[in-house]
Amino acid sequence: MTHRFPVQVYYEDTDMAGIVYHANYLRYIERARSDWVSSLGLDQNAMRDDGLVFVVRRIEADYLAPARFEDRLEVVTELSSVSRVKMGLTQSVFRGEQLLFKAEVTAVCMTMAGRPVGLPAKICALRA
């Protein structure tokens, strides 16, 4: 699957170097993951009411070129691996054809008390 998600850069996202503050790319790709999860028919509000949340375990991120105020970006998300308990996502941020940022994200599902649980069936079902 390939999921595409638009992001626009606002004042809040920039820092005094005149570019997007590096931590904010993690917010951008998290928005994209939420949109993707929602597109699978999963309701994170309902999950949380059941005491379940997605948790990021690991991120490897490469910053290739800076985004700037008013840039219109696209986050491209691809599922790179999925097991019963863990998924790997490749998430890239593009401005037009130019790749600005790329991350490998490993995420799991946990109870709010921190106990690992299996991923939702709708995600496990994406296993090739």
Measured from the Cβ of residue 75, the count of other Cβ atoms closer than 10 Å reads 24
Q: Based on the shown chain and the rule CB under 8 A, indicate whether residue 2 belongs to the binding site for its own copies.
A: no
Measured from the Cβ of residue 28, the count of other Cβ atoms closer than 10 Å reads 22
Catalytic one of 15, 43, 50, 62:
15
Q: Is the dihedral of CA 74, 110, 128, 37 positive or negative?
A: negative
Binding its own copies (rule: CB under 8 A), the pick from 6, 21, 96, 122 is 21
Measured from the Cβ of residue 25, the count of other Cβ atoms closer than 10 Å reads 24
Q: Report, in Å, the least distance between residue 85 CB and its own copies.
A: 15
113 token code pair: 């008390």
Binding its own copies (rule: CB under 8 A), the pick from 61, 79, 82, 124 is 61
Q: Which residue shows structure tokens 């593009």?
A: 94
**Range 62-101, binding its own copies (CB under 8 A):** 62-63, 65-66, 68-70
Annotation says 15 is catalytic: yes
Total residues contacting its own copies (rule CB under 8 A)? 40
Catalytic residues: 15
